A = this chain, B = another copy of it.
């Protein structure tokens, strides 16, 4: 392993399932049954801020945000999508894409910092992950 190799932050890995890989980003499903919630992580070492991305990767990121938003919207028909790069806890650059509903656990507040994560039942998680993988066209 060199200093330039991408390694997913273990805190992100611990709370998510890998759905697949887009051109720039690894696509994760957050294991929280309260919210349909994706995370995109650019596979580049050492990134913290969006402005750390090279120009071409910046365009790839917004295109992949749009792709993931479309897949999540088609799969869940939310009232609103929330898209955010925060990183106050885990500094490795990652982008949240969350499907929000007016009756969800924290509406209209953000999902971060509001209550405990509730892991999916294994069957439900596998079914939802499968539906999303199909939406992305992941093998």
Contacts and interface: CB of A to CB of B under 8 A. Distances in A.
A85 B84 contact: yes
30 contacts: A49-B69, A49-B73, A49-B80, A50-B65, A50-B66, A50-B69, A50-B81, A51-B66, A51-B73, A51-B81, A53-B66, A58-B66, A59-B62, A80-B86, A80-B91, A81-B85, A82-B84, A82-B85, A82-B86, A82-B87, A83-B86, A84-B110, A86-B110, A88-B100, A88-B108, A88-B110, A109-B112, A110-B110, A110-B112, A113-B114
Closest 3 CB pairs of A and B: A84-B84, A109-B113, A88-B108
Given A51-B69, A53-B66, A88-B109, 14 more contacts: A49-B73, A49-B81, A50-B66, A50-B83, A51-B73, A62-B62, A82-B84, A82-B85, A89-B108, A108-B113, A109-B112, A109-B113, A110-B110, A110-B113
